[in-house]
């Protein structure tokens, strides 16, 4: 108890999925975590993280997350859409966040 918690992963659940909304705070709803990407990019519409190995596929829902506790400083958060030789290394775009943990 009292130690900071970070939750990461492929949830296979979009941002409005009840499984995710139970974990993630939004505006008026309190929950144990916040989505680092939405802290830095609250209005971004193109957020698809599942590529199905199709080049340029950025549509769809964001299903990969870096979640932190409210109050954690989110310095940056990105969906990494890099490729090499017109190929993706995975069927999901990686997500990354730089955070600063709070003293407790």
Using CA atoms in the order 100, 21, 63, 103, what is the torsion angle rounded to 10 degrees?
10
Determine if the pTM surpasses 0.85.
yes
Q: How many residues appear in the chain?
A: 104
Q: What is the average pLDDT score of the chain?
A: 92
Q: 26 phi and psi, to 5 degrees?
A: -145, 125
14-47 confidence digits (pLDDT tens):
999 999 999 997 766 678 999 999 999 999 999 9
In this prediction, residues 69-88 reach a mean pLDDT of 94
In this prediction, residues 77-93 reach a mean pLDDT of 94
pLDDT band per the 50, 70, 90 thresholds, residue 1? confident
């Amino acid at each position: 108890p009292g130690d900071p918690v970070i939750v990461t992963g492929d949830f296979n659940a979009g941002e409005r999925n009840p499984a995710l909304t139970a974990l993630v705070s939004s505006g008026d709803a309190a929950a144990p975590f916040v989505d680092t990407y939405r802290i830095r990019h609250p209005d971004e519409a193109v957020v698809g993280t599942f590529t199905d190995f199709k080049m340029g596929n950025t549509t769809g829902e964001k299903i990969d997350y870096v979640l932190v506790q409210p109050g954690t400083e989110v310095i940056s958060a990105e969906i990494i859409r890099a490729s090499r030789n017109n190929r993706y290394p995975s069927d999901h775009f990686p997500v990354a966040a730089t955070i600063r943990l709070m003293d407790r």
